[in-house]
């Protein structure tokens, strides 16, 4: 169940909300999406391992329970590594997304009527912002209607806020998964010991 929840969460971040709007353009922060793909993959692995763990418990198989414990240990190590990598790489992800916006902005300023017009509007609509400072509101940027200050003033700040919020969500989910994984390892070893003791008594 935990694995299915992780898959659902990862897919929601990838295909729903603000980050989905980023992904719909050719220029998107691939660094961030790689982390989401890893999250979905970990969820799929957890679901598969959980299924075999249930089979091992139902059949009272020490071999299956031992394999379940080993897989959970590997998943736990991967979660810790991914968590550290995500927090270390957060600044890089933000800089990459901001650079993408700045490149689109510069391209628009050179050719306001070009194809980039739709792309920059897509970013403004997703982030509910417009431009990089207040003075740029007079340049005729394609901006959504009814944008409230100060969000209209700086899209670079909004990009940082969006990635910060999403990475914090990923961090919370990662901690929850790590807790579930630890309990799974404890229960599998306890079950394994109980099965062994029961067979020794028989």
Predicted local confidence at residue 125, as pLDDT: 78
Predicted local confidence at residue 138, as pLDDT: 43
C-alpha to C-alpha distance for 200 and 52, rounded to whole angstroms: 25
Q: Is residue 166 part of a domain?
A: yes
Q: Is residue 15 part of a domain?
A: no
Q: Is residue 6 part of a domain?
A: no
Q: Is residue 34 part of a domain?
A: no
Q: What is the pTM of this model?
A: 0.62
Q: What is the pLDDT of residues 156-202, one digit of tens each?
A: 888 888 888 877 777 777 777 778 888 888 888 888 888 888 776 65
Q: Is residue 170 part of a domain?
A: yes
C-alpha to C-alpha distance for 98 and 26, rounded to whole angstroms: 15
Neighbours of 84 (CB within 10 A): 10
C-alpha to C-alpha distance for 40 and 55, rounded to whole angstroms: 23
Predicted local confidence at residue 21, as pLDDT: 57
Q: Is residue 167 part of a domain?
A: yes
Q: What is the pLDDT of residues 68-109, one digit of tens each?
A: 888 888 878 877 777 777 677 778 778 888 888 888 888 888
**Could you list the residue range(s) of the whole structural domain that residue 195 is in?**
60-201
Q: Tokens for 54, please give them.
A: 């249930």
Q: Identify whether the C-beta of residue 10 lies closer than 8 Å to the C-beta of residue 40.
A: yes
Q: Is residue 176 part of a domain?
A: yes
Cis peptide before 2 (omega within 30 of 0): no
Count Cβ atoms within 10 A of the Cβ of residue 42 and give its class: 0-12 exposed, 13-18 middle, 19 or more buried: buried
State the total domains in the chain: 1
Q: Is residue 164 part of a domain?
A: yes
């Amino acid at each position: 169940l935990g694995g299915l929840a992780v898959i659902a969460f990862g897919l929601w971040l990838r295909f729903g909300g603000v980050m989905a709007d980023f992904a719909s353009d050719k220029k998107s922060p691939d660094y961030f999406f790689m982390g989401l793909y890893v999250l979905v993959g970990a969820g799929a692995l957890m679901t598969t391992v959980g299924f075999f763990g249930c089979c091992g418990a139902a059949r009272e198989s020490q071999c299956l329970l031992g394999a379940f414990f080993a897989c959970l240990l590997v998943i736990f190590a991967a979660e810790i590594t991914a968590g550290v990598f995500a927090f270390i790489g957060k600044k890089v992800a933000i800089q990459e997304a901001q650079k993408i916006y700045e490149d689109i902005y510069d391209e628009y300023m050179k050719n306001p009527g070009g194809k980039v017009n739709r792309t920059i509007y897509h970013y403004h609509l997703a982030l509910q912002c417009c431009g990089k400072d207040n003075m740029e509101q007079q340049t005729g940027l394609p901006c959504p209607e009814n944008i409230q200050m100060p969000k209209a003033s700086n899209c670079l700040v909004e990009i940082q806020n969006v990635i910060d919020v999403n990475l914090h969500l990923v961090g919370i989910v990662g901690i929850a998964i790590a807790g579930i994984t630890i309990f799974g390892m404890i229960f599998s070893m306890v079950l394994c010991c109980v099965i062994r003791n029961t067979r020794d008594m028989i």
